[in-house]
């Protein structure tokens, strides 16, 4: 995962100490299918995820990340869930923890493609034939697939910002 410039600036001051960040998960759906990306860092499939920039609305982050990671334009329709991840220790020794905002998103346009170094594959999957994923991603997808309703608040923790 590329480290945002603002995080690099903070890391210069705090080193590897724990850093609390906001993240988003964009569950992108269209006509009975879901858009997933294969993450370069671990080879796992997941929805589009990313770190919220300072002053950025989390829904705007979902839209930005979908374009950056998958080359598609989306619209964030509703907040589906919010929760806190387990603490993460990255390979470089950085410690982080995230509050994740998961959005149900509607595909608008664009041909899905690998658009940055964070993903190695991007593709549509039928909702009933998704690849294996970490349980926390499955939970976020389940919450986003509901057509309406209040956002879910996770009582437990899960891994990753995305």
Determine the average pLDDT of the residues in 16-43.
95
C-alpha torsion angle, residues 153, 151, 54, 133 (rounded to 10): 70
Q: How far apart are the first and last CA of the chain?
A: 10
In the chain, pLDDT over 90 holds for what percent of residues?
73
Whether residue 156 is predicted with pLDDT greater than 70 in this model: the reply is: no
Whole-number average pLDDT of the chain: 91
Domains of the chain and any CATH numbers = 5-149 (3.90.79.10)
Beta strand segments in 47-134, E: 48-51, 73-84, 88-89, 95-109, 119-126
Contact 68, 53 (CB under 8 A): no
Percent of the chain residues past pLDDT 70, beyond the cut? 94
d(CA 70, CA 111): 8
- β-pairing, 152-153 vs 73-84, is parallel
Looking at residues 79-100, what average pLDDT do you find? 93
Of 105 and 9, the structure prediction assigns the larger pLDDT to 105
What is the torsion angle, in degrees rounded to the nearest 10, for the CA atoms of residue 19, residue 92, residue 44 and residue 69? 70
* pLDDT 10s digits, 137-152: 999 999 999 877 777 7
pLDDT at position 87 is: 94
């Amino acid at each position: 995962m590329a480290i945002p410039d603002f995080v690099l600036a903070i890391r210069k001051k705090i080193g590897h100490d724990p850093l609390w960040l906001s993240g988003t998960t964009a569950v992108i759906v269209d006509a009975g299918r879901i858009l997933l990306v294969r993450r370069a860092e671990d080879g796992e499939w997941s929805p589009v995820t990313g770190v919220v920039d300072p002053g950025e609305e989390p829904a705007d982050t979902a839209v930005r990340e979908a374009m950056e990671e998958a080359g598609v334009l989306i619209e964030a329709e509703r907040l589906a869930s919010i929760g806190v991840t387990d603490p993460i220790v990255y390979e470089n020794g950085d410690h982080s923890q995230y509050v994740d905002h998961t959005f149900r998103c509607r595909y608008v346009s664009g041909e899905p493609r690998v658009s940055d170094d964070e993903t190695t594959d991007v593709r549509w999957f039928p909702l009933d034939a998704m690849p294996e994923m970490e349980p926390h991603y499955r939970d976020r997808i389940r919450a986003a697939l509901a057509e309406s309703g209040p956002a879910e608040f996770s009582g437990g923790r899960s891994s990753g910002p995305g």
